[in-house]
Homo-oligomer: A and B are copies of this chain.
Amino acid sequence: MDCEGHEYCGLMGIFGVPDAAVPVWLGLHALQHRGQESAGIVSSDGDKIRSRKGMGLLPQAVPSSELEKLPGHLAIGHVRYSTTGSSKPQNIQPLVVDYSEGLLAIAHNGNLVNARTLRDEYEAYGSIFQTSTDSEIIVHLLANPENVCRENSLGHCLNCVKGAYCFLFLRDDRIIAARDPQGLRPLCLGKLDEGYVVASESVAFDLIGANFLREVEPGEMVTISAEGVKSEIFAPKKDIKPAHCIFEHIYFARPDSSIFGENVHQVRHRLGRVLAEESMVPADVVVAIPDSGYSAALGYCQASGLPLDRGLIRNHYVGRTFLAPVQRQRVRAVSMKHNVVPAVVKDKRVILVDDSLIRGTTTKNLVGAIRAAGAKEVHLRISCPPNIYPCFYGIDFPTREELLAATHDIPQMEELLGVDTLRYISLSGMLSAVSLPAHHYCAACFTGKYPVKVIDKMGDKYSMDRSGEEDEDRDMLDLHGGGKKH
């Protein structure tokens, strides 16, 4: 059983609204980009706790027809994308467990960096783990009789786990939301009618017509029950050092979300402007790699005065398709998802803008296609610095060998990608585009400076394989289309 750590996830919780599972379900749609592999919802009517979970996109995992089987005025939901082989049904969140304090449901976004160490310790004391997720350790901490007796049991346990986490807990009568002392992942609080809503990104509020109140603070624990909202700072003051994941702004969050105090699209737009200022080159047209490079490309155009045009079109249907390996070779297209508009790039000097460059495979194909369509020059501009370090807090980068920038210098990449020039935004340029002070962000994937010490032994992929159960169903998941390319 391999205990994978890198997971994209989205959280949604509601208290105090009739049939709370319905707006949770709706809100999870707005968070689907954070996890397309599995989904689950757990509700409570104050008495019974009920759950529905499944593999796939939300409508498949939890069909809307199932919602009537989730009655109650409180509910939490989770969408998940795990990136290793262990996409097992038993790993689907929210987890529901039974222990001395009764039933508890847990949903987690982020990645813990001492989960394996704690797990080994607990296993030595007789604990049994039924999932291969890092999230499960929190339950064992909570169930530890020493902790059960404590006055602030949950706060204590949260202080025991290290790394990135936003947790939603559901008991029969309340919801608790907690965020790590660094605030690595986003989590916000809103109001819906007489009730309250918690979600990973504010877009989930927009979809259900909830109002944004504020973010859950780093190191804060918010309990929502019949007695209203109770806030508590569980983390020692000295531990609270904001280190928001800047990659959420660059790539992961939706452009229409507000996280870490500001709108994502606008950050990307500013990144594009800085990028243009730092790496201007004479050109005729700016082309965004859709949809990821679009916001930055708009900023690039504004700063450079160059016109934007649609040199690449994205096919929104093919993402959902499964291609057997044998058929894959038949696709000679640039990619199943993108197509060039030759008339836009022909005889032009093209600035190609994207938000990041990870493996470079698709980008290379797109560059080739743009050249084949007659572009005179192709200049690739990336609105983040080179990704060269692993993330231990929940963003799934490939291994170091697969990270293009970790193994190639700029001239090598230019040659490999077939571009005339490749330029990244500078680290300081990037940090100038966000509103908080630079030290309030985690930029470890660019700098290698990790704000939280990694306790578990990790390679550049967080991986603690124990020879064990493995599921080879991965191909199936392609059906649901990665919403993201690289």
Which B residues touch A254, using CB under 8 A?
313, 315
Using A98-B1, A128-B99, A145-B126 as known contacts, say yes or no to A64 and B322 having CB atoms under 8 A apart.
yes
Instruction: For the complex formed, measure the closest distance between the CB of A334 and the CB atoms of chain B, giving whole angstroms.
Output: 8
Which B residues touch A97, using CB under 8 A?
128-130
Could you give, for residues 89-110 of chain A, a 1 whenever the CB lies within 8 Å of some chain B CB and a 0 otherwise? 1100001111110110000000
Partner of A320, one of B57, B265, B321: B57
Which B residues touch A266, using CB under 8 A?
341, 343-344
- CB <8 Å contact, A341 and B127: no
Using A127-B99, A317-B32 as known contacts, say yes or no to A470 and B310 having CB atoms under 8 A apart.
no
Instruction: For the complex formed, measure the closest distance between the CB of A68 and the CB atoms of chain B, giving whole angstroms.
Output: 9
Residues from 301 to 329 in A contacting B, C-beta threshold 8 Å: 301-302, 307-310, 313, 315-318, 320-324, 327
Q: Which of A205-213, A221-229, A356-364, A445-453 contacts B (4 or more CB under 8 A)?
A: A205-213
- The chain B residue with its CB closest to the CB of A32 is B317
> Is A237 on the interface with B (CB-CB < 8 A)?
no
Could you give, for residues 56-93 of chain A, a 1 whenever the CB lies within 8 Å of some chain B CB and a 0 otherwise? 01110001110101000000000000000000011000
The prevalent SS among residues of A at the interface is mixed
Residues from 6 to 64 in A contacting B, C-beta threshold 8 Å: 22-23, 26, 29-30, 32-33, 36, 47-51, 53, 57-59, 63-64
- CB <8 Å contact, B29 and A317: yes
Q: Report the bound CA distance from A331 to B23 in whole Å.
A: 8
Identical copies of this chain, number: 4
Instruction: For the complex, count residues of A whose C-beta is within 8 A of B.
Output: 107
> Is A231 on the interface with B (CB-CB < 8 A)?
no
Partner of A256, one of B317, B322, B339: B339
- The chain B residue with its CB closest to the CB of A465 is B48
- The chain B residue with its CB closest to the CB of A192 is B332
- CB <8 Å contact, A470 and B48: yes
Best-surrounded residue of A123, A147, A479 (most CB of chain B within 10 A) = A123
Additional A-B contacts beyond A48-B468, A100-B120, A209-B333 (10; CB < 8 A): A29-B336, A69-B471, A97-B130, A124-B145, A128-B143, A255-B313, A256-B313, A256-B341, A265-B343, A316-B316
> Is A194 on the interface with B (CB-CB < 8 A)?
no
Which B residues touch A234, using CB under 8 A?
none
Which B residues touch A207, using CB under 8 A?
315, 331, 333, 336, 339
16 contacts between A and B (CB under 8 A): A36-B317, A49-B468, A59-B479, A64-B322, A69-B473, A90-B96, A98-B129, A98-B130, A100-B126, A102-B466, A126-B145, A128-B143, A130-B130, A209-B331, A269-B309, A320-B320
Residues from 126 to 181 in A contacting B, C-beta threshold 8 Å: 126-130, 132, 139-140, 143-148, 172
- CB <8 Å contact, A145 and B128: no
